[in-house]
């Protein structure tokens, strides 16, 4: 179920940073299958990219800049 959710997340990527987030999450999942001891360490990259995206988005909202819709 979790793998299906992550795959659904990866179907609508709009930027290179989104691809990096998806790939790092996939890497964390694969490394966690190998050893549960490395789960938190493997998730650090995904968490850092996610926090970068959130802070970047909040700065855009504070400045009043809206992203361009792609379609």
pLDDT digits (tens, 9 = 90+) for 13-52: 778 888 888 888 888 888 888 788 878 888 898 899 989 9
- Rg (Cα) of the chain, in Å, rounded? 14
pLDDT at 33: 83
Per DSSP, helices labelled H in the chain are 2-10, 16-34, 39-63
Give the number of other Cβ atoms within 10 Å of residue 13's Cβ. Answer: 14
pLDDT band at 70 (very low <50, low <70, confident <90, very high): low
pLDDT at 48: 93
Q: Kindly state the average pLDDT of the residues 2-6.
A: 75
State how far the Cα of 42 lies from the Cα of 39, in Å rounded to an integer: 5
What does the DSSP 8-state code read for residue 12?
A: T
pLDDT at 51: 93
User: Is pTM beyond 0.85 here?
Assistant: no
Give the number of other Cβ atoms within 10 Å of residue 25's Cβ. Answer: 20
State how far the Cα of 12 lies from the Cα of 35, in Å rounded to an integer: 30
């Amino acid at each position: 179920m979790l793998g299906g959710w992550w795959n659904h997340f990866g179907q609508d990527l709009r930027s290179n940073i989104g691809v990096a987030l998806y790939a790092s999450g996939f890497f964390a999942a694969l490394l966690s299958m190998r050893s549960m001891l490395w789960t938190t360490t493997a998730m650090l990259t995904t968490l850092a990219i996610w926090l970068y995206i959130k802070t970047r988005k909040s700065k855009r909202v504070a400045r009043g800049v809206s992203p361009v819709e792609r379609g």
